[in-house]
Chains A and B, each alone.
Chain A
């Protein structure tokens, strides 16, 4: 298929709280991906960095920072910022360069050293910034939005706290099998229930942590992969980076209010659902084709929402799907067999790249104890603050 690019290499720095700078994690992940691809850094045509931002200003600009640390070698450079979707935009940019013939071999890198506790906006009085406003006026942290979604699901679909806890139990069981995960311990429903409430109804173990971590990919044209002797690589078939459609009627970070639907009827599906739909349409596949999915489980309840937004089940049926075991390792469509953010925590510019690393290892059959048997098609789903869609379809 002409629109595809090859994933020659994938690499990570293990996630955790390591106390180093983000450059170290990014370079470690990049070197791992280059070694996995069997290519020399000096042969890379283009480097795309997913930006690490502190205080609203990137400081180090990712693409050039990683290129300098790896040793300047003259490659084309790009840096992209799209909050949590930065990694998908980096993959999308690399793919566009390859498909247009601007580059044959591209390194994609994202890494972060996240501060402890709540994410917070940049300092100073900045009432023109919606992210600053929601903190200043409402004290509305990220977990409070996750709490709103969880409580809404309970009211509309009848989801229970036990359902949410079972998402954590499932993801922790997979994360325990993943050497790159920060948390590698199984968790019981009782432990979730015993953890402190952060934002009603969600508890500490329902909400993902912040982490340090890095992830990288080496992408190439199919022609380069053949010349390189990689006859049957994992291929990226779609990258969805769509924006919402007006009016958005589901309250979303960092907004204080939705758009009004008084003048324009909302689209039939939500922004989150449209992210996956665009990826499916571009890839020419549907939910029934998936071997696995890596979704953005900022909270346990949000993972259930993604089941519906990915079309794994009908609206309101996610908890039933979970209870049936369909999304667990060994089920019909395993979700977050990497362990997900529940086991990794957030390292913002790295996580969408890390999702594609997991698909790559799964589609190669190299995922060890967490291998999804016979994996052929995988999707990632993520969402970046301020309306950045993020979904990647990879196939084998």
Chain B
């Protein structure tokens, strides 16, 4: 679905971005065609791993079932998930993502440290779609 946005397993799971060889700008989701810095003549865009840890810029949740194309099972009652916008210090970028299941907004605070882990977006009989989840550091569940 979103090829090349993340890689690795377990503690080595990380997001993948790209970096412009001319101006060092980092892009996530990956930008493979143009450097979008208006002051850059444009360089090669090389894949780079993003920092695995960052700080919560803000957070919220989704108390109602989102519409398609988000995939949910209408047979199951809706379980809200939290969303966190995370500041990555080295890249000076903010990346949105869902939290790991079980972490809710009452567990979160702006400025809290979180780390990235692999998670399941949805699955059917043939396929499991992997995604990234943010998890407060120190939480192992």
Give residues in A with beta carbon < 8 Å to B: 117-118, 120-121, 123, 125, 127, 132-141, 143-144, 147-152, 155-156, 196-202, 246-247, 249, 251, 255-264
Contacts and interface: CB of A to CB of B under 8 A. Distances in A.
Given A127-B2, A138-B96, A264-B25, A148 B58 contact: yes
A118 B66 contact: yes
Nearest to B83: A144
Size range of the interface on B?
A: 35 or more
A342 B118 CA distance: 39
Given A155-B111, A198-B64, A260-B26, 16 more contacts: A123-B69, A133-B2, A139-B81, A141-B64, A144-B60, A148-B57, A150-B60, A152-B58, A246-B38, A249-B94, A255-B96, A257-B93, A260-B25, A261-B92, A263-B24, A264-B23
24 contacts: A118-B66, A120-B68, A125-B69, A132-B69, A135-B66, A135-B70, A136-B71, A137-B2, A141-B62, A151-B59, A152-B58, A197-B63, A200-B59, A200-B82, A247-B37, A249-B92, A251-B96, A255-B96, A256-B95, A257-B96, A258-B94, A259-B93, A262-B24, A262-B26
B7 interface: no
B137 interface: no
Given A148-B83, A256-B95, A259-B36, A136 B69 contact: yes
B41 to A, nearest CB: 13
B17 to A, nearest CB: 8
A138 B20 CA distance: 26
B61 interface: yes
Nearest to A249: B94
B110 interface: yes
Contact of A155 (B29, B36, B68, B110): B110
A118 B70 CA distance: 12
Q: Chain B interface secondary structure, helix, strand, loop or mixed?
A: loop
B62 A262 contact: no
A149 B98 CA distance: 16
A144 B129 CA distance: 22
Given A127-B2, A196-B63, A151 B58 contact: yes
A141 B66 contact: yes
Interface string B89-108: 01111111110000001000
Contacts of A127: 1-2
Contacts of B98: 138-139
B70 to A, nearest CB: 4
Contacts of A134: 96
Contacts of B61: 144, 147, 199-200
B67 A118 contact: yes
A147 B60 contact: yes
Contact of B69 (A121, A200, A247): A121
A149 B29 contact: no
Nearest to B5: A137
Contacts of A151: 58-60, 110
A255 B96 CA distance: 9
B69 A135 contact: yes
**5 nearest CB pairs, A to B:** A147-B60, A155-B110, A139-B66, A152-B58, A139-B70
Contacts of B46: none
Contact of A257 (B28, B58, B62, B82): B28
A137 B131 contact: yes
A149 B69 CA distance: 24
A155 B109 CA distance: 8
